[in-house]
């Protein structure tokens, strides 16, 4: 089956329909300066990138890595790779040499697009990357060598017209998204051009934008949310959207929400938790009346954060659940659903989700088990790049095993418990870290927390809590007693942590998920392994 090339669906068709001058992106820089970019602009610039890639020898199926911070040129480069029929792989600029080597090596990247400040990381490992042929920099005025070329210079010399296939086979590879599990090397989830239809439909079903709504997704495009719901779905549906070039900045974020009159905001519990630490007066200085609703992704939306967000922004917050592997939102909350604070929501139309035990037997409502999906939705990843064995392990016949533990209630709402390998079996009782963390987060002295299980000769596993305190707080026996009593009352006596450790920050990856394996390794005095995706 043939489908529209991602670049055609997101850019060129608007130009051909006479809508090229329409606003595609409202860009806000870190100094709050603004720039408007049209569909025609990105169509033109991506054609230049595609022509350059073809001149440099990129053929269909070759990988081009984009190793630059979020920016308009990143978007042009991504669509340029699609026009050249290559496989795009956007990488976090915060990656270290080891993390970068793992991804560039596994993807067989032939070209890397980067910037001056990141060039050193690539040149340091280039000898270990036999497939890497060229490095293109976005901010050099001139070529640096035969293998380090100025993309800026090449683009000024390249015609903005590039003939590319408007229609492609649905299974044509489009982009790689690397995801780190609890063990092993990062795995590249491969997505195809045919996935765009599902991405657009999920965007319409869940976000429900009206014609003039302004949408903002705060996720970095190196994260699956940033590429799917920050680039593909908004461009593919012609949505008006804003993007902010920097990372978290409370003042700039709140000013952007107010001055640009953002209507739909997609962010993460981590970001909301950071906002919770700001002075309350900071929020009363702004008018958020244009905001219609908020959405959350990346980690469970704790009830405490949910209630705080509703109070401050005065809109409903809809949590969503999906993975790099699923390619689009699978389970979520959205209008006109009633939100149950702490719940993932319900499967969207066309998605079949259920709870199974280890033997793939269906579990009744209220019974905890493996969250599974029926194979076959359009945006499902097609493989782990060069790791078919790991891909096969994710399926049992027609069932995709997400690796998350959850349960469904009698009204069909799903509730996240933890990753399957994070559940703590203490004295025969199964305790999900999320439950304990949610309870501890409701204690005013604590601003962040992570819970792990540690080996115990009597209990099998004992619960260990790592807490970050508010700046004006110190740990004491009284505070520890308060925490123990609260968890006992809020969760259960079996969920009370055996130990508390005060830390400066909770290790998390770029999507906000707690890296429990890192905490466990530190606790046990072992090597934490791959930390390349840590914030």
Q: Sorting pLDDT into bands at 50, 70 and 90, what band is 530?
A: low
| More reliable by pLDDT, 511 or 145 | 145
Mean pLDDT of 229-246: 97
Share of the chain above pLDDT 70, in %: 97
Which of 129, 155, 189 is the endpoint of a domain?
189
Find out whether 228 and 219 touch, Cβ atoms under 8 Å. no
Residue 102 lies in a domain: yes
Q: Residues in the chain, how many?
A: 535
Q: Given this model, what pLDDT does residue 94 score?
A: 81
Residue 126 belongs to domain with CATH number: 3.40.50.980
Residue 212 lies in a domain: no
Residue 214 lies in a domain: no
Q: Given this model, what pLDDT does residue 182 score?
A: 43
DSSP conformation letters of 453-514: EEEETTTEEEEEEEEEE-TT----HHHHHHHHHHHHHHT-GGGS-SEEEE-S---BBTTS-B
| pLDDT tens-place string over residues 103-162 | 999 999 999 999 999 999 999 999 999 999 999 999 999 999 999 999 999 999 999 999
Residue 105 lies in a domain: yes
Residue 203 lies in a domain: no
Residue 502 belongs to domain with CATH number: 3.30.300.30
Which of 189, 217, 240 is the endpoint of a domain?
189
- Summary mean pLDDT of the chain: 93
- List the structure tokens of 383: 């493989």
Q: Sorting pLDDT into bands at 50, 70 and 90, what band is 521?
A: confident
Q: Given this model, what pLDDT does residue 282 score?
A: 93
Residue 206 lies in a domain: no
Which of 7-16, 109-118, 487-496 comes out lowest in average pLDDT?
487-496
Distances (CA, A) of 520 to 185, 252, 406, 457, 505: 18, 35, 22, 17, 15
Find out whether 309 and 271 touch, Cβ atoms under 8 Å. no
| pLDDT tens-place string over residues 460-474 | 789 999 999 998 899
Residue 531 lies in a domain: no
Q: Sorting pLDDT into bands at 50, 70 and 90, what band is 511?
A: confident
The total of structural domains in the chain comes to: 2
Which of 94-103, 188-197, 369-378, 480-489 comes out lowest in average pLDDT?
94-103
| pLDDT tens-place string over residues 431-445 | 888 888 988 999 999
Q: Given this model, what pLDDT does residue 439 score?
A: 87
| pLDDT tens-place string over residues 401-439 | 999 999 999 999 999 988 787 878 787 566 888 888 988
The C-alpha atoms of residue 132 and residue 270 are separated, in whole angstroms, by 35
- List the structure tokens of 221: 């495009």
Residue 386 sits at the vertex; the CA angle it makes with 381 and 387, to the nearest 5 degrees, is 75
Residue 499 lies in a domain: yes
Q: Sorting pLDDT into bands at 50, 70 and 90, what band is 181?
A: low
| pLDDT tens-place string over residues 170-180 | 999 999 999 86
pLDDT at 229 over 60: yes
DSSP-derived secondary structure letter, 276: H
Q: Sorting pLDDT into bands at 50, 70 and 90, what band is 491?
A: confident
Which of 140, 169, 189 is the endpoint of a domain?
189
**Phi and psi for 511 in degrees, rounded to 5?**
-90, 5
Give 345's Cβ-side CA count (13 Å radius). Answer: 27
Q: Given this model, what pLDDT does residue 428 score?
A: 59
Which of 94-108, 259-273, 349-363, 468-482 comes out lowest in average pLDDT?
94-108
DSSP conformation letters of 74-136: HHHHHHHHHHTT-EEEE--TT--HHHHHHHHHHHTEEEEEE-HHHHHHHHHHGGG-TT--EEE
Structural domain range at position 88: 38-189
């Amino acid at each position: 089956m043939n489908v529209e090339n991602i670049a055609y669906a997101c850019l060129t068709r608007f130009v051909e329909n006479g809508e090229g001058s329409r606003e595609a992106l409202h860009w806000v820089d870190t100094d709050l300066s603004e720039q408007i970019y049209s569909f025609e602009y990105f169509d033109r610039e991506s054609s230049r990138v595609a022509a350059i890639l073809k001149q440099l020898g990129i053929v269909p199926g070759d990988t081009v890595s984009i190793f630059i911070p979020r920016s308009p040129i990143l978007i042009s480069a991504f669509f340029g790779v699609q026009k050249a029929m290559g496989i795009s792989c956007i990488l976090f600029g915060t990656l270290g040499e080891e993390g970068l080597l793992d991804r560039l090596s596994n993807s067989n990247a032939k070209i890397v697009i980067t910037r001056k400040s990141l060039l050193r990381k690539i040149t340091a490992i280039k000898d270990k990357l036999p497939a890497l042929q060229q490095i293109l920099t976005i901010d050099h005025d001139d070529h640096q060598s035969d293998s380090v070329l100025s993309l800026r210079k090449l683009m000024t010399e390249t015609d903005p017209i590039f003939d590319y296939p408007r229609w492609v086979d649905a299974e044509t590879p489009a982009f790689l998204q690397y995801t780190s599990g609890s063990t092993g090397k990062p795995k590249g989830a491969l997505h195809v051009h045919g996935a765009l239809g599902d991405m657009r439909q999920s965007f319409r079903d869940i976000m429900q934008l009206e014609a003039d709504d302004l949408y903002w997704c705060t996720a970095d495009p190196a994260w699956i949310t940033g590429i799917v719901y920050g680039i593909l779905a908004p461009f593919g549906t012609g949505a008006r959207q804003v993007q902010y070039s920097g990372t978290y900045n409370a003042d700039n974020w709140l000013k952007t929400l107010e001055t640009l009159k953002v209507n739909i905001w997609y962010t993460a519990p981590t970001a909301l938790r950071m906002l919770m630490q700001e002075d309350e007066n900071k929020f009363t200085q702004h008018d958020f009346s244009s905001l219609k609703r908020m959405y959350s992704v990346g980690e469970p939306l704790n009830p405490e954060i949910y209630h705080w967000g509703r109070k401050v922004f005065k809109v409903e917050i809809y949590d969503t659940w999906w993975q790099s592997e699923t390619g689009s939102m699978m389970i979520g909350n959205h209008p006109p659903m009633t939100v149950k604070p702490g719940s993932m929501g319900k499967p969207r139309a066309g998605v079949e989700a259920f709870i199974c035990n280890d033997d793939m037997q269906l579990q009744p409502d209220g019974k905890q088990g493996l969250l599974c999906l029926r194979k076959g939705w359009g945006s499902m990843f097609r493989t782990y790049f060069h790791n078919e064995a790991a891909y096969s392990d994710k399926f049992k016949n027609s069932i995709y095993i997400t690796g998350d533990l959850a349960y469904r209630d009698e009204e069909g709402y799903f509730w996240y418990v933890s990753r399957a390998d994070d559940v703590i079996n203490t004295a025969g009782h199964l305790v999900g870290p999320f439950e304990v963390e949610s309870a501890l987060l409701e204690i005013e002295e604590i601003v962040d927390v992570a819970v792990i299980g540690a080996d115990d000769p009597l209990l099998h596993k004992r619960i260990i809590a790592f807490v970050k305190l508010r700046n004006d707080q110190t740990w004491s026996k009284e505070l520890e007693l308060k925490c123990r009593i609260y968890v006992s009352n809020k969760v259960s006596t079996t969920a009370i942590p055996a130990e508390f450790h005060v830390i400066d920050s909770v290790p998390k990856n770029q999507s906000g998920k707690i890296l429990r394996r890192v905490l466990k390794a530190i606790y046990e005095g072992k090597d934490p392994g791959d930390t390349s995706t840590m914030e």
